[in-house]
Structure 1
Amino acid sequence: MTQTKIFLSFVLLTLTGFTVFSQQVENNNTPQDINLNHFDNLVAVNDVNVTTPDSLYNSTSYNNTTTLIDTTLVKQNTPVYPPAFRDYRRLGYDTAMYLGAAVVAFGILYAMPESATNWDKEAMKENGITYKWKQNVKAGPVWDEDDWVLNYITHPYSGAVYYMTSRSSGFTIFESFLYSAFMSTCFWEYGIEAFAEIPSKQDLIVTPVIGSALGEGFFYAKKSIIKNDRRVLRSKFLGYTSLLLMDPFNTILDSFGYKERQKTQLSLAPVGFDKGANKAIWGLTFNMQF
């Protein structure tokens, strides 16, 4: 058990390192060159009067009779993370994967010794799993006496994974926190784990709160890794492994070729101003996402 603690502590420290340096890496990233050979949605703007400093030009103003404005300058083949919209379909797939993983996790915990999990297997066998779940839900929550590795390492990590599942699907910080709180409370504490033990007070708090803070660090770290062509220390293997640890279900989903559904949007917006006519110039903007 000592070796397990050391290993899990090392994993937590490694992952926490991403949260410490990821924001700095994010801020230090220089903008990538834009491929100017790709233009969509060009809008013509006529007779726009632009005033410029005397130090740059002899005259104080010049007329740009025709200006082309590209409203969607996007570098080709650049991965978009996070999605520009809430992808409920992705979140649904991820949640379904949780159900399958929960069955596996329950089996692993059931196979572990009672000294590690504090599960009363004899009572589960005698009265049935459903009966034990009802008894545990009625009795909880309580302050549990689980090993500190389970309470303060694996639970915050689980909360971070819940958080990243939502955050990587295009949801906000608050929405991702709510998803982490829902999954840790309803799905795990009062769901899967309640079949074996009484819901834990500290787990109900530690998992979503500390987990979401850790998960936001994972979010910035993932952005940096994706911008770096999914590499860590120039290694694709380390990059993919890091993504798998921080956001396992979305990483697995992406590895199977998941793509967002095509979305189109047509909007009317001002694209310039005609000083001669003293009015705004309006144009149609068409956006398409694949």
Structure 2
Amino acid sequence: MNSLKNILYAIVILLSANTVFAQQTLQPVNFHNLNQTPPSENTLAYSDTPENVNPYNMLILADSTVVQQNAINYPPIKRDYTRLGYDTAMYFGAAVISFGILYAMPESVTNWDKEAMKENGITYKWKQNVKAGPVWDHDDWVLNWVTHPYAGGIYYMTARSSGFTWFESFLYSAFMSTCFWEYGIEAFAEIPSKQDLIITPVVGSAIGEGFFYCKKSILRHDKRVLKSRFLGYTSLVLMDPFNTLLDGLGYQQKVKVQSNVSPVGFNSGTNKAIWGLNLNVQF
């Protein structure tokens, strides 16, 4: 039991630390302090260089060019039902694994009556538990106030990272925690819990919204936390595991956005370039 608590404490501390780190890294970027490579041919919308442009102005022109190609589109610009469907399917696979882990734990931790499950069958136990619930459980506080809110945050992020609003993501978290877990997977072993039905989606959604802003910050900084890719990927996996897995497998939304800030003309009177924003959206 002590080892389980230590693992959960470590997860909470790591999430808290990464949250702080992600917010600290959200600072304006000074492009003049970066070692930039010269702009490529397709970077400049106006490639003909006037003869009266002096080298100094061209140096400023090259140093100030900011190009953002194939930028990470987060959150998605529209609801991605396909992504949400893949994520939900993975939940069912992960639920089987989670059920096996919980079943292997001591009854003092889960309060599961394994003998009744073996004697009468799992389906019989599920029906009895659903009819008897919900009740106020007496699980360890770590399960009720750490693991369940964290799970609610993961449910929330699953929808939030698929382009849904905060309210829609809350509804998804409530649906998954109620129908999928309390009255679904967990009901095979124990009676649904009153506090879990409330704590998981409510507290979990608040935590999930914090995860959402942290993920935006991490992605904006090239998936790094404190300039570390390891901390960046670790944070993304802990905050949004299924979407991070999908992205790692190469899933991309059909909408691709490419934008850049580049000179679109030249004012010979002021000897300065005219800047413009180019936006390319492919469906």
Deviation of 1:38 after TM superposition, in Å, equals 5.0
Deviation of 1:201 after TM superposition, in Å, equals 0.6
Task: Tell me, yes or no, if the aligned pair for 1:18 and 1:217 is still in contact at 8 Å.
Answer: no
Given residue 172 of structure 1, which amino acid in structure 2 is its aligned partner? T
Per-residue CA deviations over 1:103-157 (Å, capped at 9, x if unaligned) read: 1100111111111100011111111111110100010000101111111111011
1:194 corresponds in structure 2 to: 187
Deviation of 1:97 after TM superposition, in Å, equals 0.3
What secondary structure is seen at the aligned counterpart in 2 of 1:107? helix
What secondary structure is seen at the aligned counterpart in 1 of 2:72? coil
Per-residue CA deviations over 1:158-208 (Å, capped at 9, x if unaligned) read: 000000000100111101011001000000000000000000011111111
CA distance in 2, matches of 1:31, 1:289: 30
1:207 corresponds in structure 2 to: 200
Given residue 255 of structure 1, which amino acid in structure 2 is its aligned partner? G
* Structure 1 vs Structure 2 CA RMSD: 2.7
1:87 corresponds in structure 2 to: 80
2:5 corresponds in structure 1 to: 5
2:14 corresponds in structure 1 to: 14
Task: Tell me, yes or no, if the aligned pair for 2:8 and 2:146 is still in contact at 8 Å.
Answer: yes
CA distance in 1, matches of 2:115, 2:90: 30
What secondary structure is seen at the aligned counterpart in 2 of 1:144? coil
CA distance in 2, matches of 1:74, 1:83: 20
Deviation of 1:30 after TM superposition, in Å, equals 4.2
What secondary structure is seen at the aligned counterpart in 2 of 1:288? strand
* CA 1:76–1:151: 2 relative to 1, 3 Å: same
CA distance in 2, matches of 1:126, 1:39: 74
CA distance in 2, matches of 1:121, 1:89: 38
1:61 corresponds in structure 2 to: none
Gaps of 5+ in 1: 41-72, 265-285
More helix by share: 2
* Pairing partner for 2:161 from 156, 168, 171: 168
CA distance in 2, matches of 1:119, 1:241: 32
Residue-pair matches, total: 238
1:222 corresponds in structure 2 to: 215
Task: Tell me, yes or no, if the aligned pair for 2:134 and 2:194 is still in contact at 8 Å.
Answer: yes
* CA 1:251–1:263: 2 relative to 1, 3 Å: closer
What secondary structure is seen at the aligned counterpart in 1 of 2:281? strand
CA distance in 1, matches of 2:28, 2:5: 35
CA distance in 1, matches of 2:198, 2:186: 16
Gaps of 5+ in 2: 33-38, 46-65, 258-278
Identity of aligned residues (%): 71
- Greater relative CO (CA pairs within 8 A, separation 6+): 2
* CA 1:78–1:130: 2 relative to 1, 3 Å: same
With the length of structure 1 as denominator, give the TM-score of the two structures.
Answer: 0.75
